[in-house]
Chain A
Amino acid sequence: MSDHDDHDHDDHDHHDHPHNAPLTDVQLRVRALESLLTDKGLVDPAALDALVETYETKVGPRNGAQVVAKAWLDPAFKQRLLDDASGALADLGFIGRQGEDMVVLENTASVHNIVVCTLCSCYPWPVLGLPPVWYKSAPYRSRVVIDPRGVLRDFGVQLPDEVEVRVWDSTAELRYLVLPQRPEGTEGMAEPALAALVTRDAMIGTALVRVPEVVPEVVPEVVPEVVPEVVPEVVPEVVR
């Protein structure tokens, strides 16, 4: 048994019980199972640590964002991605568990793709990491096939009626990645800057890629000779 459950003060554990509260049934059960399997020599707790660390620190949606940005900049790579996604992604090292056979779906002005797994929660791990809770949840899995436009509205996306919404239910071992549309206003941007705009949800199909509205920093070109001094009205603070 590793000491993870006992001494994990990770602030991500905000859904865990407070530290002095009794452990829940599932916490106890998982701890007891790890203890039993470790005692039998069937698992090495350090291997569990390595598995967890991989998906907490190494594999996540930044991988997919890099692929999208590269496809936006390089037409030959984009074509290869659409023709042979597994091969193109393998070249970048983004292949493996739950992403052995990949399909990339291109969003266009006339087609919007959304990915789901209604039967379990299949998801392309090598490019997106592990799925978020909403993707695994009953509300998403039940509704996105029957009311995809309603789900998109939950995410703040309103598509015109003339756009075809194409939902992909991952019922076999194919895993799908959405190639979102490149937004206007990104001309001349380099790959890292473009990748930074690409969100996980845009690669599932529940969001569009948007350029954040930058509030321009006002740098006056000409420094006026006389800068009128504005003396703020002093409002005395009442200290009680």
Chain B
Amino acid sequence: MNGAHDLGGMHGFGPVEAEPDEPVFHAAWERRAFGLTLAMGAWRRWNLDMTRSAREQMPPAEALATSYYEHWMFGLERMLVAHGFIEPEELARVQRGEIARGAPAAVQTGALRPEGVAQLLHNRRAARMDDPVPPRFRVGDAVRARNLHPTGHTRVPRYVRGRNGVVAIDHGVFIFADSHAAGLGRKPQHVYSVRFQARELWGADAPARDCVHVDLWDDHLEVAP
């Protein structure tokens, strides 16, 4: 979707300001938001592409006015309701900050326990697939990012759509994020690093040598005209 998450090439946000000796988290609630997101993800009822898609549902004005872990909370709340972990009325109470004081249940089988954390984080389960899918393009091929504007999740940033590039690396076969996010299957296909010259993206004033590499799937690409 053409949302506020797709920031590449926008102007007006000001200089990049790095914080010296920055802590990993800036507040206690950020720690808990991070932990809750990973712990609930460990139930494996949804995938990372769905999570990203859920975060992108935040209205643009709100997304630009809130922080990274607020985006995470927004996404987590929606996933919890969509997958039946909590009821909409319970979410409404959470959003009002109401603490339910019921009798706590025992930790369920399947919930992430402290002793499972190291294994969870070292798991190499990833988006790479072993399926013998032939590549549609070869390194060196001239390609164009298709001019796609789906209302759902896509990993093609707006700034490369309709632009010409060259396949620089064939990374191999991966789950297709765009379909996976919508629950429409893994659609395994090749991912390539596509090299776009800065002048192709930003015009004649850009430095001649500079370029941007973007990772795109077969379904995002067509033969350059």
Residues of A within 8 A of B (CB): 1, 4-5, 8, 10, 12-16, 23, 25-44, 46-52, 54-56, 59-60, 90, 95-97, 100-101, 103, 116, 118-121, 129-130, 132-134, 136-146, 148-149, 151, 154-155, 161-174, 201, 206
Most buried by A among B97, B100, B106, B171: B97
Which residue of A15, A96, A169 is within 8 Å of B121 (Cβ)?
A96
Contact present for B215 and A47 (CB under 8 Å): no
B130 at interface (Cβ–Cβ under 8 A)? no
Could you give 18 example pairs across A and B, Cβ below 8 Å?
A: A4-B32, A16-B29, A29-B94, A34-B36, A37-B40, A48-B32, A48-B35, A48-B39, A97-B123, A119-B8, A119-B52, A141-B7, A154-B16, A161-B207, A168-B193, A169-B214, A174-B191, A206-B16
Contact present for B26 and A13 (CB under 8 Å): yes
Q: Mark B155-179, 1 if CB is under 8 A from A, else 0.
A: 1110100000000010100110100
A32-B94, A142-B13 known; A37+B26 contact, CB < 8 A: no
Q: Which A residues are in CB contact (< 8 Å) with B121?
A: 51, 54, 59, 96-97
A94 to chain B, nearest CB (A): 10
Q: How many residues of B contact A (CB 8 A)?
A: 98
Q: Report Cα–Cα, A201/B28, bound state, in Å.
A: 25
A27-B29, A155-B18 known; A51+B38 contact, CB < 8 A: yes
A39-B102, A47-B112, A140-B16 known; A97+B24 contact, CB < 8 A: no
CB closest chain-A residue, reference B116:
A47
Contact present for B23 and A12 (CB under 8 Å): yes
A118-B6, A148-B210 known; A170+B215 contact, CB < 8 A: yes
